[in-house]
Amino acid sequence: MSKETTLKGKLGDLLRLSASLNANKDNLQHLEGSRAELDDQIAKAQDAADRQALHTAGKQEASKQLRTSLDEGQRLANVLRLAVKQRYGIRSEKLAHFGLQPFRGRPRNAKPTTEEPQPQAPADPVR
């Protein structure tokens, strides 16, 4: 009995069993129907594995195209954002319609006052 857990390992185990059964088919005439059914199931499994590999490759290619398109789109969006800023100016509130932050100036810092700290009254001791 095989202890294979992966699909590829299980398929390999079935292929080895089928090869052994085919090599000894003269001594195992009574298993001919089951052996033929096993070969049919192995062929279906290999076809499914091939289709799965094809889809995996297609998925990887689609992921690569997605990353490339997003990178190019982000570059183009950066250029367009700069063009919008150029057209309307960096202080225009119209920039907010494009998801851009208009420049509204820096907040002024309050001048620090030089106040002397107030002396604190001593706390009453608890009796």
Chain mean pLDDT for the chain: 87
pTM: 0.54
Q: CA–CA separation, 51 vs 89, rounded Å? A: 55
Residue predicted with more confidence, 56 or 120: 56
Residues 93-122 pLDDT 10s: 989 988 899 998 888 786 766 666 666 766
Q: How distant is the alpha carbon of residue 95 from its chain centre?
A: 32
Query: Which residues 6+ apart lie within 8 Å of 42 measured at CB?
Result: 11, 14, 15, 18
